Amino acid sequence: MAKAPKQNAEDYLRMYRQMVRIRTFEDNANQLYLSAKMPGLTHMYSGEEAVAVGICEALRVTDKVTSTHRGHGHCVAKGADFKAMFCELLGKEEGYCRGKGGSMHIADQSNGNLGANAIVGGSMGIATGAAFSAKLLGKDDVTVCFFGDGATAQGLWYEVMNMAALWKLPVIYACENNGYSEYTRTEEIAAGSITARAEAFGIEAHQVDGQDVLAVNALTDGLVARARKGEGPFFIELKTYRYHGHHVGDINREYYRSKDEEKDWKENRDPIVRFRGWLVSEGVASEDEIEAMNAEIKEDASAAVQYALAAKYPDVSEVDMHVFTDVEHALA
Amino acid sequence: MREITLSQAVNEALAEEMRRDETVFIIGEDVAEAGTPFKVLSGLVEEFGTSRVVDTPIAEPGFMGIAVGAAMTGTRPVVDLMFGDFIYLVMDQLCNQAAKTHYMSGGKLSVPLVLRTNLGATRRSAAQHSQSLHALVAHIPGLKVALPSSAYEAKGLMKTAIRDNNPVVIFEDKLMYQDKAPVPEEEYLIPFGVANVLREGADITLIGTSSMVQVCAKAADILAAEGISAEVIDPRTIVPLDEAALLASARKTSRVIVVDEGHQSFGVTAEIASRINEKAFYHLDAPVLRMGAMDVPVPFSPALEDITVPTPEGVAENARKLVRGELIHAA
């Protein structure tokens, strides 16, 4: 593990808790899909927890993030609540978006999460715009734009990086490189170096082990502080791995990656197992304390799932609400 | 009353709103010192500085996306899209992001953004600088669409657009930038969704949008000389659409021609004609007629370009036939 940037046990335990909350949320979401209780499908964040948590733990509530189709991890890490998240995944009225967005559009404005996005790379402009806004309004908020390696092929990124660099915007582009662009190896879709692409715009670029939450947090902490002072934008490539397929229905995936490869990442580089080991060896928490925390989170998640399953769907009269801000029912 | 050009009217609307609300800013290509190729924005950068009149690289999807994010986080961008034809470049940001954000977030996020651009052929600019693409965005729920038809309309609608909390696309007729009209010195706004009856009539209703309002007004002059009384209505905004005003006129005159510079097929004329057919059918004495731009890419040669858009003479000729009871497309 990297050198610890935080100074107290509380911070470390919160980071661990958030990582386990993401994994537990995803395990439950996957079960909901497999048991046909969830409409549609979803994209699991499991395996990438250290990225979202390491970054979001360096942010304030008023800092913004933009998320992706694989967005549950960002949502949890930025402070979201299990109940409202599961309700959204199940299309219920009490969901973050009143059931209108679902897994791929979950947003939590109260914690600065401007939303997941079902267009790969679709939120790169939004993130850059949020940073533009902060600068124009004289706020020192920072925006983190999460996206995957697949999104680096979208032209939009190069357009907004150019402007972010020209205008020194407080935005951090965080590329979660999980090695696969949907069902295709990243090597097959990305020519040259991804970090060099950011550097070409004069943007300071970093690479970090995305399975090491302390390394991610230490790097981000420093970059966020500098971005607040007007030294942005920055780029981070986080090497990570997604345990599931592109989405929950992508079960047979040996045609693009081997079971041995998956096993190696899970057994030898799991971000939660690694951090847990560090917490115990550094004396931050005992095995018993960690087990108790895990059990509590598991219970929280099951309670939230039960709550969401029993929760109401939105009334059908809501179908034409929220089309416009100033019209209660757009089709009335 | 003083007369100013449409270009000056838009400039005044922007300046007034930027003075009134410091979260309003302009972003686009050559908007600052150049003041756009049409010089609509001249002088604004001198007053508001480059932090609020923001020149961008030639990267429409990029600056459109930035505007969407800025609008979601406390500012009111006015995006300047140099030609309406470039709207294809910003479609994902406009239609997948801006239009849907309020809905997808269950009403939590909003996108108070104005996309100002233009429409209109016969400027000898060929197929990629002459299109009228407002129907394309009017098709997408979540976007409001305003079509000013004079300097007066342009100023009042722009001010309303800037204060609206939804994404609004406003198309100016690029051939009208130098056209003057009476515009009051004192402040006024024109509400969305309220049609303007330019001229009352009894025999036929001519519904015109944007550039076609003048065409309809001229056609009404031609018809008046022949004893045909035409009512001319400008919907001003097609989203929201003042359906009640259009239906009331259709019921009154019993004959309607809808004239719009977008391509005729699957366009604004079809939508309005269809609503009148559905809701005023038993009041009609003739089929509602559509007159849009020809369904061809806009040609360069003046000999070809001029015949692709509706003219006052063409509208008058069709009106005459409807009033005489000749079914224009009878088999």
The ipTM value here is 0.96
Residue B263 known to be catalytic? no
B301 touches chain A (CB under 8 A): no
Residue A8: the pLDDT is 86
B227 touches chain A (CB under 8 A): no
| A4 part of a folded domain | no
Quickly list H helices, chain B: 6-20, 44-48, 60-72, 91, 99-104, 134-138, 151-163, 211-225, 243-253, 268-280, 302-305, 312-324
A5 has pLDDT over 60? no
A6 has pLDDT over 90? no
Mean pLDDT of chain A: 96
DSSP B171-224: EEEGGGTT-EEE--SS-----TT--EEEE--SSEEEEE-THHHHHHHHHHHHHH
Strand partners for B24: B76
A319 touches chain B (CB under 8 A): no
Picking from A97, A109, A132, the nearest residue to B70 by CB comes out as A132
Residues of B in contact with A119 (CB under 8 A): 92, 96-97
Q: A330: alpha, beta or left, given left = phi > 0 and alpha = psi -120 to 50?
A: alpha
Of the candidates B141, B162, B55, the residue with the CA atom closest to the CA atom of residue B98: B141
CB contact at 8 A, B144 and B169? yes
B330 has pLDDT over 60? no
Q: Whole-angstrom Cα distance, residue B55 to residue A253?
A: 47
Tell me the three state secondary structure of residue A265. helix
B-proximal residues of A, 138-177, CB under 8 Å: 143, 155-156, 159-160, 162-163, 166
Number of domains in chain A: 1
Query: Among residues B12, B60, B172, B231, which one is catalytic?
Result: B60
| A66 part of a folded domain | yes
Q: Is the peptide bond before A233 cis (omega within 30 degrees of 0)?
A: yes
Kindly report, residue by residue over A287-314, the tens digit of the pLDDT: 999 999 999 999 999 999 999 999 999 9
| A320 part of a folded domain | yes
Element at A279 (helix H, strand E): helix A271-281
Q: Whole-angstrom Cα distance, residue A95 to residue A117?
A: 17
| A301 part of a folded domain | yes
Vertex B211, ends B208 and B217: CA angle to 5°? 55
Domain with CATH 3.40.50.970 in chain B: 3-182
Helix axes A124-136, A155-166, angle to 10 degrees: 20
What average pLDDT score do residues B304-325 get?
A: 96
Residue A4: the pLDDT is 58
Q: B43: alpha, beta or left, given left = phi > 0 and alpha = psi -120 to 50?
A: left
Identity (one letter) of the amino acid at B14?
A: L
Q: Whole-angstrom Cα distance, residue A133 to residue B65?
A: 12
CB contact at 8 A, B313 and B146? no
What average pLDDT score do residues B277-299 get?
A: 97
| CATH number reported for the structural domain that contains residue A96 in this entry | 3.40.50.970
Residues of A in contact with B144 (CB under 8 A): 324
Contacts 24+ apart (CB under 8 A), A223-231: A223/A58, A223/A172, A224/A58, A224/A59, A224/A63, A224/A142, A224/A172, A227/A142, A227/A170, A227/A171, A227/A172, A228/A140, A228/A142, A228/A170, A229/A140, A230/A168, A230/A170, A231/A168
A117 has pLDDT over 70? yes
Vertex B288, ends B286 and B294: CA angle to 5°? 130
What average pLDDT score do residues A5-14 get?
A: 84
Residue B165: the pLDDT is 98
Strand partners for B204: B230
pLDDT interval class at A3 (50, 70, 90): low
Residue A61: the pLDDT is 98
Residue A295 is given by DSSP the state H
What average pLDDT score do residues B224-244 get?
A: 98
Q: Taking the mean position of all CA atoms in its chain, how far away is CA A331?
A: 35
B249 touches chain A (CB under 8 A): no
Of the candidates A242, A271, A277, the residue with the CA atom closest to the CA atom of residue A20: A271
CB contact at 8 A, B66 and A125? yes
CB contact at 8 A, A234 and A173? yes
Residue A39: the pLDDT is 94
Instruction: Output the CA–CA distances (angstroms, integers) from residue A137 to A225, B23, B49, B75, B80, in the order listed.
Output: 18, 7, 14, 8, 21
Mean pLDDT of chain B: 97
Residue B129 known to be catalytic? yes
Tell me the three state secondary structure of residue A49. helix
Q: Whole-angstrom Cα distance, residue A84 to residue A66?
A: 18
Domain with CATH 3.40.50.920 in chain B: 196-324
Kindly report, residue by residue over B89-125, the tens digit of the pLDDT: 999 999 999 999 999 999 999 999 999 999 999 999 9
Whether residue A114 and residue B73 make contact (CB cut-off 8 A), yes or no, is yes
CATH number of B3-182: 3.40.50.970
B331 has pLDDT over 60? no
Q: Which residue has the tokens 């990029």?
A: B62
Give the predicted TM-score (pTM) of the model.
Answer: 0.96
Query: Among residues B102, B129, B134, B263, which one is catalytic?
Result: B129
What average pLDDT score do residues B199-226 get?
A: 98
Residue B326: the pLDDT is 84
Counting Cα atoms < 13 Å in the Cβ hemisphere of A40 gives 14
Pick one of 3.40.50.150, 3.40.30.10, 3.40.50.920, 3.90.226.10 as the CATH number of B196-324. 3.40.50.920
| A3 part of a folded domain | no
Residues of A in contact with B139 (CB under 8 A): none
The dihedrals phi and psi of B169, each to the nearest 5 degrees, come to -105, 125
| A2 part of a folded domain | no
Of the candidates A192, A177, A152, A174, the residue with the CA atom closest to the CA atom of residue A234: A174
Of the candidates A257, A209, A248, the residue with the CA atom closest to the CA atom of residue A72: A248
Residues of A in contact with B93 (CB under 8 A): 122, 125
Whether residue A100 and residue B70 make contact (CB cut-off 8 A), yes or no, is no
Residue B218: the pLDDT is 98
